[in-house]
Structure 1
Amino acid sequence: MHSDLDADEAWERLRASRSNPPARANTGSRRKTYAAALEQAQQLFHAAAVVGPATSPVLAFYGLSQAGRAITAAAWSLKGEDWNLDTHGIKTTGFHLPFPDIEIRTDPPGTHGSFVKVSEALDSPVWEKDPLRLEDVWDLLPTNLHYPLTTRDRLTPLYTDEGSIDAGDHSLLSAFVCNIPDRVVKAGTREALADFLTAYPVVAQHESYSTVGPALPNYVRYDHGGGQLSMNWLMPDGVGTGFDGMATMAERQAHLRAMTRRYAGGRYFLPVLGSMKRELHPLMAWWAVLYALSMLSRYQPAVWGTLINVDSNQFAVPIERLLERAINHLPVLIADTITEVTT
């Protein structure tokens, strides 16, 4: 549902922005930080691309961390010295546990750690009391859809496409929700779908969906398992400037964008984990995963060496694939995020 992106083009966009930095990064120390942090980020990502998985997570994480400094320097929402970052703002524990069960926590809201302040700029939640398991955050990345860490039931991003929006003369937003898990599609009941969607509150607010037979969900099944479903949502009050007061395509597209997060040129409904009030921004999901991998690589090198051994470890190939995608996807996500916080 997504494609590899042009990292070189993204770095060109970012380099071009440095001569005339956006938003609050256009003067003073914020401008200097914006330019220097992006230069460091690019060099760290380029270095990560030419080494193996033994050390690439350290380089990729610090590349993302430096890009975070550019993001906060530019962000309109961060005033005064709120943009200035000091610590990581995130920590990992439980390295003695199985790889999927490594625990990730963040510093409290309002602190100046990098993860916390970048999350604030992106309206993305932090958590401090109840840890998230690495597997749960791993599954938030669209690139990991086909790379599960265990056989547990997963909560993964649900892809949607603006091209699937129904342009009919009605007052609803109608679009396909894709990548519904096989367990839900096989169950085939309204109850199974409703139970699954409790983790996706935005999707759960649907007005109706395509049905078959005795009002059962009319899934389009995939050959490899799982499927998609055409779903309908009410448009916001006061929207409807088209013919006979119906919603226009532009209004429907805007509503779908408001309900989803952008990633790799597509739009995704993301689950809300645990006690969080909304979903993690994709950049922050990447941040949490790379931080955990970098800490393993730096402080548990023997354990990390075992995990990336393709001859003996089931996690080695998924880890390799994740690190390859980090090099391709993150520059584009960073560039898009800077646009997001400055418009």
Structure 2
Amino acid sequence: MEQSEQLFTSAANAGYASRPLLLFYGISQAGRAIAAASVKAGEKEWDLAKHGITADVDGRYRRLANLGLHDTKGGGSFIGLASLLSSSTLGQGVPLGKIWCTIPELRPFPLESSNQPLHPFLGFSLQGPGERISDGEFRIYGWLDGVSKRFLRDDEERKVCEFISHYPTLTGAQEAGNQLRKVTQSFSEGECARISRVWVLKSPPENVQEWSQSLTTPYAGDERRYVFPALDGSDKPIHPLIAWWALLFSLSMLARYKPAKWTEFIDVDRSPDAASVEHALDCALHVCPELVHHTIRAVSSRRDP
């Protein structure tokens, strides 16, 4: 863990040209500390080797959002840590833009659009304590905050369901019916919309608030919790530390192996993404250590990481 802290400290004193290298190796070393602290990691999982992830820096992509990343065969640190955190990975390929929008701090600084469907992190809030219905079942209403504004124009249920299907923890969410407007302007997640859904349970949960937490993942502590998508189509949402890992890996590979292209991406006169990239590299300095410390506490005590 000491090496990780030293790398993050060095990154704070480095310029944007080299900062992603230090940040990635900082989070990579932290991954080994997390594995070592995990109560469920075996000896093989503790000794994380190889990256386990590939960035297609030699591929054809004009926009940073289109840079492809995928898992590598044979496992590695990325795959091993994702398994310990019960997280999805990247499967056979995910563009960087889809990873970017799952990170809460980066919502105000999106990458230039590439017209690909995005599934960002979502906020969740209860609409009351729930209610019993006549046949003994229990109904719970909730808001999903942070969905695309396009649903304000087109809230066709088929399209809403397709969007929600990318969020494994939202399985069972149904249309709220005529009692509530399905889609409204979001008040807590900026220029977005929010969707009303209902869950019909066979019996009331012991604690509705605790039940609602099963839909979300803590983000650097329980004070902030979000609903995250599965980017590989699996039944597990991506863990926020895994999303940051993939993002920093991709930027570090550009900085290391494609320095000319990387220099262009961080030049405000040549790239529309420069300000967003700089913001991400600034945020990573404090967000990633916070995520690491929270994750170590969680995996060492069997709590939800």
TM-score category by the smaller chain? 0.7 to 0.9
Alignment partner, residue 135 of structure 2? none
Choose from 124, 128, 136 the match for 1:160: 124
For the aligned residue pairs, the C-alpha RMSD in angstroms reads 2.4
Choose from 197, 200, 208 the match for 1:231: 197
Deviation at 1:258, TM superposition (A): 1.8
Label 1:292 to 1:143 Cα distance change in 2 as closer, same or farther (>3 A).
same
Task: Show CA shifts across 1:111-143 (max 9, x none).
Answer: 3x2111111101112345x22111121122122
Deviation at 1:218, TM superposition (A): 4.7
2:27 and 2:161 map into 1 onto residues whose CA distance is 37
Label 1:219 to 1:203 Cα distance change in 2 as closer, same or farther (>3 A).
farther
| Counterpart secondary structure, 1:88 | coil
1:156 and 1:127 map into 2 onto residues whose CA distance is 15
Stretches of structure 1 that go unaligned for 5 or more consecutive residues are 1-37, 241-246
Alignment partner, residue 134 of structure 1? 96
Following superposition of structure 1 onto structure 2, how do residues 118-133 of structure 1 map, counting pairs within 5 Å? Answer: 118-128=81-91, 130-133=92-95
TM-score by length of 1: 0.76
| Counterpart secondary structure, 1:166 | coil
AA aligned opposite 1:261: T
Alignment partner, residue 179 of structure 1? 146
AA aligned opposite 1:71: I
Larger proportion of helix: 1
Task: Show CA shifts across 1:171-204 (max 9, x none).
Answer: 3333321012100122133333223222224335
> Is 1:314 the counterpart of 2:252 in the alignment?
no
Deviation at 1:267, TM superposition (A): 1.6
AA aligned opposite 1:77: K
AA aligned opposite 1:198: S
Is the Cα contact below 8 Å between 2:31 and 2:77 reproduced in 1?
yes
Is the Cα contact below 8 Å between 1:190 and 1:216 reproduced in 2?
no
Following superposition of structure 1 onto structure 2, how do residues 225-264 of structure 1 map, counting pairs within 5 Å? Answer: 225-235=191-201, 240=204, 247-248=205-206, 251-264=207-220
> Is 1:48 the counterpart of 2:7 in the alignment?
no
Deviation at 1:216, TM superposition (A): 5.5
1:312 and 1:218 map into 2 onto residues whose CA distance is 38
Task: Show CA shifts across 1:80-109 (max 9, x none).
Answer: 333111211111114342222222122347
Deviation at 1:341, TM superposition (A): 1.4
Stretches of structure 2 that go unaligned for 5 or more consecutive residues are 133-137
Alignment partner, residue 117 of structure 1? 80
Following superposition of structure 1 onto structure 2, how do residues 145-224 of structure 1 map, counting pairs within 5 Å? Answer: 145-151=107-113, 152=115, 153-161=117-125, 164=126, 166-168=128-130, 170=132, 171-209=138-176, 211=178, 217-222=182-187
Following superposition of structure 1 onto structure 2, how do residues 6-85 of structure 1 map, counting pairs within 5 Å? Answer: 38-85=1-48
Label 1:81 to 1:201 Cα distance change in 2 as closer, same or farther (>3 A).
closer
2:112 and 2:234 map into 1 onto residues whose CA distance is 23
Deviation at 1:169, TM superposition (A): 5.2
Deviation at 1:221, TM superposition (A): 4.7
Is the Cα contact below 8 Å between 2:152 and 2:183 reproduced in 1?
no
Q: How many matched pairs? A: 289
Is the Cα contact below 8 Å between 2:184 and 2:193 reproduced in 1?
yes
Alignment partner, residue 235 of structure 2? 277
Percentage of pairs with the same residue = 29
